[in-house]
Amino acid sequence: MARKFSSQRGEPREAVLQINGSAGTWEQQIKVRNNPCVGREVSIAVTAVADTELEVHIFNSKSLTGCTDSTIKAKRVDGRTLEGTFEDGRKVTLVRP
């Protein structure tokens, strides 16, 4: 599942989200020289909140000490698309290819 979102500074970003049941991986499709927390594959956990809502917990801290974990709360828009936000309010769109 590809995901589009914006960085802390509002720049557009993309990532690949792989979900297998209630687990999976997340990898931003960018490398940032001064931020080793960005651009590495990290583990995730998925929690169903309702039939049309879910939470994706991104465990950056398990990949590298000092990195910050994130959570996405998303709602189903259609059979391929979820839209939601990170806990800091940044918008995200998840699209199944």
Return the pLDDT at 61: 95
Residue 34, classified by CB atoms within 10 Å of its CB into exposed (0-12), middle (13-18) or buried (19+), is exposed
What pLDDT is recorded for position 86? 92
pLDDT by 10s per residue, the chain, length 97: 545 555 556 667 788 899 998 999 999 887 777 888 888 899 999 998 888 999 999 999 998 999 999 999 999 999 899 999 999 998 899 888 8
Task: Give pLDDT, residue 50.
Answer: 86
What pLDDT score does 96 carry? Answer: 85
The answer to whether 56 touches 66, Cβ cutoff 8 Å, is: no
Q: Give, in words, the CATH class of 2-95.
A: mainly beta
